[in-house]
Amino acid sequence: MGADHVVNHRELIDSMGKAGFNQVDYIFNVADTQGHWDAMVELIAPQGMISSIVEVDSKVDIAPLAMKSAGFVWELMFTRSMFKTSDMIRQQDILAEIAQLLDDGKISSTLTQTLVGFNVDTFKEAHRIIESGKSIGKTAVIY
């Protein structure tokens, strides 16, 4: 997908160090906010920013970010529509822009597997694949 550096998320701090990074300015978490929280707090540079699209089951301690003046922000695609924000139409613009970038070949989808059949067995298989912790990319279920 064009990454300059690839690290092992299971050993994030060590693998980042081996790649030559002790701190980074930005972290975009798409996998496990709680599970990676301590590593992200350690790796974020002073005045850096962490963003996540993954919810948590319990509280995370943001206090360690204060000393670094680092920030944390959630991103949820449906916030605008759920709360009917004044810029709600912006989500349509964003999705149209992403679609155009995909159509133009400027970005690529992370879809790696498509399962056919909108039924219990297919969804169980999709869950098995995802829960294995070994899947790469996204798995889709189509009708």
Residue ranges per domain, the chain?
1-75
CATH number of 1-75: 3.40.50.720
**How far is it, in rounded angstroms, from Cα 10 to Cα 143?**
34
The residues, any chain, with a CB within 8 Å of residue 7's CB and separated by 6 or more, are 15, 16, 18, 19
Residue 2 C-alpha from the chain's centroid: 16
pLDDT, block means (10 residues), the chain with 143 residues: 87 95 96 94 98 93 97 95 96 96 94 96 96 90 96
The predicted structure's pLDDT at residue 133: 84
The predicted structure's pLDDT at residue 1: 75
Alpha-carbon Rg for the chain in angstroms:
18
Q: pTM of whole model > 0.85? A: no
DSSP conformation class of 106: S
The predicted structure's pLDDT at residue 49: 98
